Structure 1
Amino acid sequence: MSDELEPMKPREAVDMWIDRLQSTRADETLKSYRYRLKPFLEWCNSEGIDNLNDLTSRDIFQYDSHRRSKGLKVSTLNNQIGTLKQFIEFCERIDAVPEGLPAKVEVPSVKLADRVNDELLSANRAETIRENLHLYQRASRRQAMFELLWHTGCRLGGLRSLDLRDCFFEQSDLERLRHQDDIEKDALEAVDVPFVYFRHRPETPLKNKREGERPVALEQEVADRVQEYIDINRVERTDSDDRKPLFTTEKGENARVSKSSIRREVYIMTQPCQWGSCPHDRNISKCEAREHGHEARCPSSRSPHPLRTGAITHMRDQGWPPEVVAERVNATPEVIREHYDHPDPIRRMQSRREFLTEDSA
């Protein structure tokens, strides 16, 4: 052990690292970091490692082997060891572990097939749901939610964060931008509508905070359907922060719809039996997945994340470059390629045709 190292308990170091990241990471991200490091802290306790100064590359190897013995998925192991490596890098900077230790932490490589989530909502299913919602639940909160989730590829938290003032569906709405963003009046003439503007606010944070703020253009049909919901079925309520949420509740203390409610709505909308027969040969009248709170038990139902995955994949299948998709959905091009890109070979071929020339035929 180097005499230059400062004694540091594992849990104390984790708390210090998480605290350091508070200003640059979303709360959900920090929670995931703590969750991934929890097994490491438990292992350190069981191995009697109460001072990170004593941590060696052999210890890291033994911990890696310990986690592999649990039968974890390669992607899970990749996340846990990857987060551990970031943590060890921080510990090196504060003289808590021997110099050079982070370089000896080998993060398990993951094949693309192991990284992706194969439960994405397909474009065909999404279009069927859109059609049925418009036919049977037109102007409903549920329809407006699905339209925005599918069309923008936003995260659940982003959808929940929207206020009425974040919807710019008419040219006259742009006047709000002049006051909110200090945009010159002449410059507004070049701005097209419709679009929604995702904003990071303390009460409704975005995953990447200020860096997650972005205006996202909408097709006119999508904006019209959301506007119908606003005009006909949106319950006029103001939340405790004197804001007017786009998606409100009918009763209760919280005027803004909760994350759990949005998640439940998506589970319900993606149940095939909502619009037709059950593909799993279940008795619909007795199916537990039709009971309140149990919607996720349907094998075909999907949460908001696979819906986002499907939306992003659909954009790519239509020929959108990863860089353009990344800006629209607030992710990096690398993340788009590795975690959200589930190409349909035929559609992807079609999207590439525009790059062909007569000379290359």
Structure 2
Amino acid sequence: MSQGLEPIAPREAAEMWLDRLQSTRADETIQSYEYRLKPFLEWCDAEGIDNLNDLTSRQVFQFDSKRRADGLKVTTLNNQIGTLKQFIQFCERIDAVPERLPTKVEVPTVNLSDRVNDELLPAERADRIREKLSRYQRASRQHAMFELLWHTGCRLGGLCSLDLQDCFFEESDLERLRHQDDIDQAALEAVEIPFVYFRHRSETPLKNKREGERPVALEQEVADCVQEYIDINRVERTDSTERQPLFTTEKGANARASKSSIRREVYILTQPCRWGGCPHDRDTMNCEALDHGKEARCPSSRSPHPLRTGAITHMRDRGWPPEVVAERVNATPDVIREHYDHPDPIRRMQSRREFLTEDSA
């Protein structure tokens, strides 16, 4: 055992770390950390490592090699080893692992090409889906949800958190913000509508909690679509806390549309065969991806996260600075550049032309 360290089992340390994160991370984030750390804890059990004081950089390297041999995608490996490094950094702070061990943990680098294929819904596809929804399912719940996801770049949890009172489409709606301590009343006098306000509440938490709260401006066309949904197709229901969810269910105990149901609807909306032919030469009469609960098995279907990635990339391709995009979607500029920025070189060149014109003036 290394001198000056206090013995602790890997699982006990993991529980301490995850418990410590409870005050600063959303439940879903903690669950993802727990999921990513699980293979390491199982490996420790198999290798007889019952005290982190004895953990060496060579053993971490051996674990890394094993996960590579398991055939993991580089993006998955990046997430798992990155989370492991954060965990070992915590362990160093509580005198559980040898000093400087975290600096010896190498997180695999993810190339841009490794991310793009599976993690982005291209703007062209999003526009086609929006066009079809506007034509065939105008102002439906699916239409309104897709428009907000694409236009705001919000997370799935943020979309689920929205209530009717979070929609500010008329000047009279601004009265709901009067006299609120966290609102600059002077700025409110000049604010423009329409916008939605993402709020952190205990029943519907945002990923970054209070720091994730923000108003997000909408184009009038998007606000009109959401308002039509509210006026025509929204099922009037309140949840167990007497809140009025923006996206409701027709029946069942939960009035608010769940994350799983919205995720499934996004999978369905991004299946090409829903709007035309199958690009994978599948028999659309017998394709398993058309069965309930199996929509994600379509190679072209996407979950809400790639939709968020595509939306953020589209903002950047239109010339939006990373700092502006970051505030809109509740992320840091560095995260925008590293994880979400998958530029099309031609579009990015075009977005830079305005700066070329300014320099020539």
TM-score, with structure 2 as normaliser: 0.94
The residue number in structure 1 matching 2:279 is 279
Query: How far apart are 1:113 and its partner, in Å?
Result: 2.6
Does 2:83 align with 1:88?
A: no
Q: Distance in 1 between matches of 2:117 and 2:140?
A: 30
Query: How far apart are 1:111 and its partner, in Å?
Result: 2.6
Q: Distance in 1 between matches of 2:26 and 2:287?
A: 37
Distance 1:356 1:11, change over 3 A: same
Q: Distance in 1 between matches of 2:72 and 2:186?
A: 57
The residue number in structure 2 matching 1:238 is 238
Q: Is the contact made by 2:64 and 2:81 (CA closer than 8 Å) also made in structure 1? A: yes
After TM superposition, list the pairs within 5 Å mapping 1:1-361 onto structure 2. Answer: 1-181=1-181, 183=183, 186-357=186-357
Amino acid in the other structure paired with 1:174: L
SS of the residue corresponding to residue 253 of structure 2 reads: coil
Q: Is the contact made by 2:2 and 2:54 (CA closer than 8 Å) also made in structure 1? A: no
Single out whichever of 310-319 and 68-77 deviates more from structure 2: 68-77
SS of the residue corresponding to residue 286 of structure 1 reads: coil
Distance 1:335 1:116, change over 3 A: farther
Single out whichever of 196-205 and 118-127 deviates more from structure 2: 118-127
Regions of 4+ moved over 6 Å: none
Single out whichever of 293-302 and 251-260 deviates more from structure 2: 293-302
SS of the residue corresponding to residue 197 of structure 2 reads: strand
CA-based RMSD? 1.9
Unaligned runs of 5+ in 2: none
Amino acid in the other structure paired with 2:282: R
SS of the residue corresponding to residue 244 of structure 2 reads: coil
Between Structure 1 and Structure 2, how many residues are aligned? 361
Single out whichever of 297-306 and 286-295 deviates more from structure 2: 286-295
Q: Distance in 2 between matches of 1:108 and 1:120?
A: 21
What does the per-residue CA deviation read over 1:161-211, in whole Å, with 9 as the maximum and x for residues that have no partner? 100000000111011011444546554221111000011111111111111
Q: Distance in 1 between matches of 2:214 and 2:358?
A: 39
Distance 1:109 1:129, change over 3 A: closer
Query: How far apart are 1:105 and its partner, in Å?
Result: 2.0
Q: Is the contact made by 1:116 and 1:338 (CA closer than 8 Å) also made in structure 2? A: no
Q: Is the contact made by 1:68 and 1:77 (CA closer than 8 Å) also made in structure 2? A: yes
Q: Distance in 1 between matches of 2:320 and 2:326?
A: 10
Q: Is the contact made by 2:179 and 2:185 (CA closer than 8 Å) also made in structure 1? A: no
Query: How far apart are 1:222 and its partner, in Å?
Result: 0.4
TM-score, with structure 1 as normaliser: 0.94
SS of the residue corresponding to residue 216 of structure 1 reads: strand
Query: How far apart are 1:301 and its partner, in Å?
Result: 1.8
Single out whichever of 49-58 and 224-233 deviates more from structure 2: 49-58
Distance 1:282 1:97, change over 3 A: closer
What does the per-residue CA deviation read over 1:260-285, in whole Å, with 9 as the maximum and x for residues that have no partner? 11011111211222222333333333
Q: Distance in 2 between matches of 1:22 and 1:139?
A: 38
What does the per-residue CA deviation read over 1:269-310, in whole Å, with 9 as the maximum and x for residues that have no partner? 112222223333333333332222222222222211111111
SS of the residue corresponding to residue 285 of structure 2 reads: helix
Distance 1:189 1:45, change over 3 A: same
Q: Distance in 2 between matches of 1:63 and 1:24?
A: 29
